[in-house]
Amino acid sequence: MNKPDVIKGKTWQAQKFDGGYIVNINNGEKIISSLEDFILSEKIGSAEITGIGATNEATLGFFNFKKEEFSEQTFSEQMEIASAIGNASYKNEELYIHMHVTLVRDNYSSYAGHLVEATIHGVAEFYVRTNPFKVYKSNEVDKNMWVYNFEKTEI
């Protein structure tokens, strides 16, 4: 078996394995935008994403169903990314990374929620397990909810 090539982006490096990639995002860079850049440049149709690392600025989101509002809050302090888990698919033709995180503070309490964006402060180690099919979400049933629409999956 040959050693796989190192794939280099502007803010990340990756190495392919059978079924996916290991992705490292550079210190000081943004998680979501780097993963978007990686997925688009590798032409990945859909994926499961998991990661750990550290951040010093993260914006989390929470959808309030009653108000039909997505509220956001930014936390600016050193935090461990204890867990980042999500997926990549497409909303119409636009790539959408849906990711949730648990961020641990220096007193071991945590913030958790939908990850809007976070800046790496330390390391960011991701595994991206890929699906060769391009998978879509649609909001035809409820405009606030983007759900998988497997009828639209493309080979």
Residues contributing to the site for Fe ion (CB under 5 A)? 114
Q: Which is nearer to Fe ion, 24 or 30 (CB)?
A: 30
Residue 67 token pair? 């108000």
Smaller CB separation from Fe ion, 15 or 139: 139
With b for 16 or more beta-carbon neighbours within 10 A and e for fewer, the 130-143 pattern comes to bbeebbbbeeeeee
Pick 17 or 63: Cβ nearer Fe ion: 63
In angstroms, give the least distance from the CB of 100 to Fe ion.
6
What is the smallest separation between the CB atom of 114 and Fe ion, expressed in angstroms? 4
Instruction: Report, in Å, the least distance between residue 99 CB and Fe ion.
Output: 8
Collect all residues with Cβ–Cβ distance below 8 Å to 137 and sequence separation of at least 6.
89, 90, 91, 96, 146, 147, 148, 149
19 or 72: CB nearest Fe ion: 72
Q: Which residue is nearest to Fe ion (CB)?
A: 114
Residue-level length of the chain: 155
d(CA 145, CA 139): 5
> At its nearest, how many Å lie between Fe ion and the CB of residue 102?
13
- Torsion of Cα atoms, 27 then 28 then 34 then 37, to 10°: -100
